[in-house]
């Protein structure tokens, strides 16, 4: 077991503050207070490489640095606030005073999560947490039960996806800082909306990253797409593991966040006997027991490995859920016919059939694009452990032009696609704006101040898309125009935007109210793909009810004969919003790119 210890500035209500930093190989560390009082105080080295000092009469907002070996002056790696950005002083934060009103909030059951992923900077014209608060009633009316916020850890400048954060404990100053985030979470809970926060434990950004000055946070044993790996299993790894575990506990304890989305856990390199994720799950479980609220861990993973979410008694890590990109890939390629890059392994309606039945398309079989057998079996894992989507920040933003599916798909196909994943036996996640057919792209943007770094990012983005046959130019990630172009227009009040929004709201309502769709159960499920007709049929049932979903992915109408005297009732026809009250005909006519759902109660 790693040695767990609180780090950063821990302020008590009486003004007593303990400053602690991990720097195992330094000879001397001092606390350098700069405002409102300027003084330098030597810190004492304790066990396992921690340095600590206690100071009286510290007020919230007190600015400080750490002085290393009497030379470099650096912000606190575990700073809770960087008011003036990544290169300037850290500020003490008082987590005791905020007037929380969510004491009766106990969170949601995992199966009740209907997630809406958003980016704080582009979601509203305010580009802040206050802006998100102003849209909570909109999300509530849509039927959303949880929002997932892209990373808010302090990054350089004011424009970034969040994956270049360099202070994992500090809430981005331009978004509203720690108080702004608390106010937003509190407002969400007042509305009955859970909050999922995206956190990055596999790398840190380059600009403002001073961790190497403090200690061996990185190891050269492994390489990641972002350079040297974080040190989760080499010498001094306990200090690094503690750093990120304390970070996770802080979001749950001090910010009342309900769940963490763990970015790209396949890039967390750890061959310890007890994986970092297993330790994180244990500490999260302990905090849940202490507070009476269950906190959730949801992994993004490219491994197709249920070990992440299996209980520890079955050899798993004990996380609660994971993203399933392969459902997205199967659906996306059937809709768009794209076959470049990783899409080369998908494109058949049989892939979507398998994603419905078995979750992973590659569950031990050979993946041509990867040139190896891939994945394992997820049949025993319930559907609530997998998050699926039609679009997300990666699948939109990592396209060369950040174009959404409103560009290649017809209006009919957008509705068909939405019904396919929202009514699947998995947890659905919308990407901001898709519910009304947002046409603005979501492009990759940064606001670095290092000229050489900016040029490297610009060059890297161009190199990234060589494997795809996409036309056009790569948007300049440093340009403010790229950021502005990625902001939502909120044009959903009329025309097709209004119709699509109402359709999404109806789908979500059906998902929440219908006894079949609200239960993410894969066991009572049959799926068949007719590739000659481009028709996917999904049947689901329980002891009281059965439903059939007919998804027509072709551009031609299809007729389906129903059993005589079966007593079918029409639940949904995406081509015609109004549901007729009369009995269904003997033959159903599916319009091109449409879905029809019917239900039947057993004959007693």
CA distances from 510 to 343, 423, 571 (A): 31, 8, 9
* Cα–Cα distance for residue pair 428/441, rounded to 1 Å: 21
The tokens describing 256, both together, are: 């009342």
- Catalytic residue from among 198, 294, 300, 325: 300
CA dihedral of residues 167, 169, 173, 176 (deg, nearest 10):
160
Please, how many CA atoms are within 13 Å of residue 300, restricted to the half-sphere of its CB? 20
- List the one residue out of 424, 427, 425, 432 whose CA is nearest residue 387: 427
For 81, phi then psi, to 5°, come to: -165, 135
- Please report which helix (H) or strand (E) contains residue 412, including its range: helix 411-422
CA distances from 473 to 268, 400, 461, 466, 469 (A): 33, 8, 11, 12, 12
* Cα–Cα distance for residue pair 296/284, rounded to 1 Å: 8
Question: Which are the contacts of 343, defined by CB distance < 8 A and separation ≥ 6?
Answer: 329, 332, 333
Residue 300 annotated in active site: yes
Q: How far apart are the first and last CA of the chain?
A: 58
Here the contacts of 272-277 (C-beta below 8 Å, separation 24 or greater) are 272/232, 272/233, 272/237, 274/1, 275/317, 276/201, 276/232, 276/241, 276/244, 277/308, 277/317, 277/319
* 8 Å CB contact between 161 and 445: yes
For 227, phi then psi, to 5°, come to: 115, -150
* 8 Å CB contact between 433 and 488: yes
- Please report which helix (H) or strand (E) contains residue 468, including its range: none
Burial of 589 (0-12, 13-18, 19+ CB in 10 A): middle
The tokens describing 522, both together, are: 């894969």
- List the one residue out of 374, 378, 272 whose CA is nearest residue 322: 378
DSSP assignment string, 269-290? ---SSS-HHHHHHHHHHHHHHH
Question: Which are the contacts of 586, defined by CB distance < 8 A and separation ≥ 6?
Answer: 561, 562, 564
- List the one residue out of 180, 224, 543, 523 whose CA is nearest residue 359: 523
The tokens describing 459, both together, are: 């060059």
Question: Which are the contacts of 589, defined by CB distance < 8 A and separation ≥ 6?
Answer: 557, 558, 559
- Catalytic residue from among 117, 148, 207, 263: 263
* Cα–Cα distance for residue pair 267/402, rounded to 1 Å: 24
Catalytic residue list = 263, 300
């Amino acid at each position: 077991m790693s040695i767990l210890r609180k780090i950063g500035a821990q302020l008590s209500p009486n003004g007593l503050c303990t400053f602690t930093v991990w720097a195992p190989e330094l000879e001397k560390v001092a606390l350098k207070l700069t405002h409102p009082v300027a003084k330098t105080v030597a810190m004492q080295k304790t066990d396992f490489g921690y340095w600590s000092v206690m100071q009286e009469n510290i007020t919230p907002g007190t600015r400080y640095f750490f002085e290393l070996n009497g030379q470099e002056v650096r912000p606190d790696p575990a700073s809770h606030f960087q008011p003036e950005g990544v290169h300037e002083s850290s500020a003490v934060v008082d987590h005791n005073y905020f007037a929380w009103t969510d004491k009766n909030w106990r969170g949601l059951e995992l199966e009740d999560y209907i997630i809406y992923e958003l980016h704080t900077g582009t979601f509203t014209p305010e580009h802040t947490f206050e802006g998100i608060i102003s849209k909570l009633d909109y999300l509530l009316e849509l039927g959303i039960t949880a929002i997932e916020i892209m990373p808010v850890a302090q990054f350089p400048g004011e424009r970034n996806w969040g994956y270049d954060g360099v202070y994992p404990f500090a809430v981005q100053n331009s978004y509203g800082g720690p108080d702004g985030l608390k106010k937003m979470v509190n407002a969400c809970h007042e509305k009955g909306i859970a909050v999922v926060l995206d956190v990055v434990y596999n790398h840190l950004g380059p600009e403002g990253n001073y961790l190497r000055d403090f200690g061996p946070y990185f190891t050269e044993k492994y390489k990641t797409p972002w350079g040297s790996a974080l040190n989760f299993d080499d010498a001094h790894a306990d200090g690094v593991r503690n750093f990120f575990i304390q970070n996770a506990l802080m979001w749950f304890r001090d910010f009342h966040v309900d769940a963490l989305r763990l970015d790209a856990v396949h890039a967390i390199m750890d061959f310890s006997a007890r994986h970092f994720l297993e330790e994180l799950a244990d500490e999260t479980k302990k905090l849940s027991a202490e507070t009476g609220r269950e906190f959730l861990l949801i992994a993004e993973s490219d491994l197709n490995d249920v070990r992440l979410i299996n209980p520890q008694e079955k050899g798993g890590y004990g996380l609660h859920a994971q993203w399933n990109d392969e459902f997205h890939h199967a659906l996306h390629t059937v809709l768009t016919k794209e076959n470049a890059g990783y899409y080369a392994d998908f494109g058949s309606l049989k892939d979507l059939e398998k994603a419905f039945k078995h979750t992973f398309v590659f569950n031990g079989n050979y993946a041509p694009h990867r040139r190896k057998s891939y994945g394992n079996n997820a049949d025993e894992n319930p559907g609530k452990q997998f998050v699926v989507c039609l679009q997300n920040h990666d699948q939109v933003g990592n396209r060369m032009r950040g174009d959404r599916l409103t560009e290649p798909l017809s209006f009919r196909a957008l509705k068909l696609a939405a019904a396919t994943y929202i009514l699947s036996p998995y947890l659905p996640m919308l990407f901001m704006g898709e519910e009304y057919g947002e046409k603005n792209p979501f492009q990759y943007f940064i606001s670095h101040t290092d000229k050489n770094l900016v040029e490297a990012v610009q060059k890297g983005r161009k190199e990234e898309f060589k494997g795809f046959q996409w036309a056009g130019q790569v948007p300049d990630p440093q340009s403010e125009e790229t950021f502005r172009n990625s902001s939502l227009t909120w044009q959903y009040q009329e025309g097709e935007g209004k119709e699509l929004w109402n359709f999404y709201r109806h789908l979500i309502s059906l998902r929440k109210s219908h006894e079949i769709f609200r239960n993410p159960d894969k066991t009572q499920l049959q799926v068949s793909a007719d590739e000659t007709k481009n028709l996917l049929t999904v049947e689901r049932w329980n002891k009281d009810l059965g439903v059939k979903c007919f998804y027509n992915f072709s551009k031609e109408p299809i007729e389906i004969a129903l059993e005589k005297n079966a007593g079918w009732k029409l639940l949904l026809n995406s081509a015609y919003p109004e549901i007729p009250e009369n009995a269904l005909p003997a033959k159903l006519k599916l319009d091109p790119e449409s879905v029809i759902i019917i239900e039947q109660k057993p004959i007693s």
